Amino acid sequence: MSNNLPSNNKDTACKLSEVEPNSPCTVLNVAQKCNASDRLADMGFTEGAKVRMLRFAPLGDPLEVEIRGYRLCLRKETAENIVVSKI
């Protein structure tokens, strides 16, 4: 696990890119160093939002997630900046 994970959820926290398909989770934070952090927040990736990993592309990139009632595809590189807690 990376060092920037919240201390209160270290045992269940992981990167969104590491979540297994069909797994529900909750967004803990988005790394501020990420170039797309504002865009991700606009798309609904805010603290406490429920997100579900749906599937990975055959070669592992991009990945499809469902958040706030809609589906979207993210690059694996972008999903590595989203810290989630498994439900």
What is the H or E stretch that residue 28 is in?
Answer: strand 23-30
Q: Please tell me the total count of domains within the chain.
A: 1
The range of the structural domain enclosing residue 53 comes to 15-86
Quick: pLDDT tens for 30-87: 887 777 888 888 889 999 999 999 999 988 889 999 999 999 999 999 999 999 998 8
CATH number at residue 71: 2.30.30.90
Give which of 65, 67, 71 is closest to 17, Cα–Cα: 65
Q: How far is CA 26 from its chain centroid?
A: 8
- In a domain, residue 51? The reply is yes
Quick one: pLDDT at residue 60?
81
What are residue 8's phi and psi, to 5 degrees? -75, -15
For the record, the structure tokens of 15 come out as 């990167």
